[in-house]
Amino acid sequence: MYLEDTYGEKIRFVYRHFALSFHDKSVLTAEAAEAAGAQGKFFAMHDLLYERQQEWGALSSQDEVKSRLVEYARELGLDTERFSQDLNTHAYQERVNADTQTAMEIGLRGTPTYIVNGVTYPSEQLSLNPVIIDAFVHLVTDPPRQYAEAPPQVIDPDKKYTATIRTGKGDIVVELFANQAPTNVNSFVFLARDGWYDGLAFFHVAPGFVAQNGDPTNVGLGFPYPGYSCGDEVRPDLTFEQAGMLALFTPSPGYNSSQFFITYAPQPDFNGRFTIIGRIVEGIDVAESLTQTQPGPDQPPPDVIETILIKEG
């Protein structure tokens, strides 16, 4: 499992039954897992049941399912006599029903429901994609640094600012548009000076398109990670007609926070949608050498921001 790879010994899994009555083989298979558990093989049976779901799911009668389950028990080296007896006498039905009852009492809406350190995974908003589950675990267990207030005024919009984005491959120097996008440049400068971006990955790098950064979970969830968000400063005189723009990402109009991207090519589709806060003036070759990647397993390690240095004047 993906989470195990990420968290290793730091994570433990707990399985509880939520055997929905409209799934006709749900209680029986849960009983089978319990019966296997009585012989010390709960998770072995759990894994096998998921693996062979199509096989036993296609069987029509409970008896057929039951004899198939006994075959699985034999495969796992269980005492099949004891196992069959446990199924026939419904030795663990009460246990399964009690778990299900609890799940209903605490208002769980469906299966599967995941709970991370007591926090229910919002499966209505987030898909069950393992990459997103991983990001959620990250958010709950190691939340990003948040600010109790929106950022103080740290720039003078009449002065000139440059940001040097330092990576292992070199520096990307960006002229910031403090005058045209004062609120969002202020926020970016505030975060950069506070080291907020240090160590964050270019989690989506698509040559000829964009490189994205500024998401502490490194997968691009659309959250306002620093605990605040800022309105748009989209100006007609700053457009994506040129490559090398630095813009803030917003999931919908007016919710800019830490996430940003740089463009590798003109992106006229972005005009009017994203606030441009700067333009690369040096190190476009460094930007172009960033490792191509996207969130998910089996990707090369992304490049990270070592730090962002802000120069005034």
Partner 1 sequence: MRKPALWLLVLALGLVAGCGGKSPTPSPSPTAAPPTATPPTVTAAPSVTATPAGPATCVQSPLSFPADPRIPAVTDEDHVEGPAGASITFIEYADFQ
Stretch binding partner 1 (CB under 8 A), from 44-52, 84-92, 160-168, 278-286: 44-52
- 35, 66, 83, 151: which one binds partner 1 (CB under 8 A): 151
Tell me if 113 contacts partner 1 by CB under 8 A. Answer: yes
Interface of this chain with partner 1, residues 14 to 33, rule: CB under 8 A? 14-20, 23-26, 29-30, 33
Strand order in the sheet with 161-167: 204-206, 210-213, 260-263, 245-248, 276-282, 170-176, 161-167, 305-312
Closest CA to 292 of 203, 168, 205: 205
- 66, 155, 163, 184: which one binds partner 1 (CB under 8 A): 184
Write phi, then psi, for 201 (nearest 5 degrees). -95, 150
Token pair belonging to 130: 């393992």
Contact 247, 266 (CB under 8 A): no
Name the minimum Å distance from CB 18 to partner 1: 4
Interface size with partner 1, residues (CB under 8 A): 104
Which residues fall within 8 angstroms of residue 286, CB to CB, at 6 or more apart? 167, 169, 170, 171, 172
Tell me if 188 contacts partner 1 by CB under 8 A. Answer: no
Residue 102 CA, distance from chain mean position? 28
- 5, 53, 77, 94: which one binds partner 1 (CB under 8 A): 53
What residue has token string 């096989």? 55
Which residues fall within 8 angstroms of residue 107, CB to CB, at 6 or more apart? none
Tell me if 3 contacts partner 1 by CB under 8 A. Answer: yes
DSSP letter at 170?
E
Interface of this chain with partner 1, residues 201 to 260, rule: CB under 8 A? 203-204, 206, 209-210, 212, 219-225, 227-234, 249, 251-255, 257
Cis-peptide, bond into residue 301, ω within 30° of zero: no
Stretch binding partner 1 (CB under 8 A), from 75-83, 161-169, 198-206, 305-313: 198-206
Token pair belonging to 185: 């440049």
Name the minimum Å distance from CB 168 to partner 1: 21
Closest CA to 68 of 91, 48, 89: 48
Contact 95, 27 (CB under 8 A): no
Select 121 or 173, whichever has its Cβ closest to partner 1.
121
Select 49 or 245, whichever has its Cβ closest to partner 1.
49
CA-angle at 254, arms to 250 and 257, nearest 5°: 50
Stretch binding partner 1 (CB under 8 A), from 45-53, 191-199, 238-246, 276-284: 45-53
Select 48 or 163, whichever has its Cβ closest to partner 1.
48
Select 139 or 164, whichever has its Cβ closest to partner 1.
139
Interface of this chain with partner 1, residues 63 to 102, rule: CB under 8 A? 99, 102
- 54, 60, 88, 127: which one binds partner 1 (CB under 8 A): 127
Name the minimum Å distance from CB 311 to partner 1: 23
Token pair belonging to 18: 């939520």
Token pair belonging to 110: 């469906």
Cis-peptide, bond into residue 266, ω within 30° of zero: no
Select 115 or 281, whichever has its Cβ closest to partner 1.
115
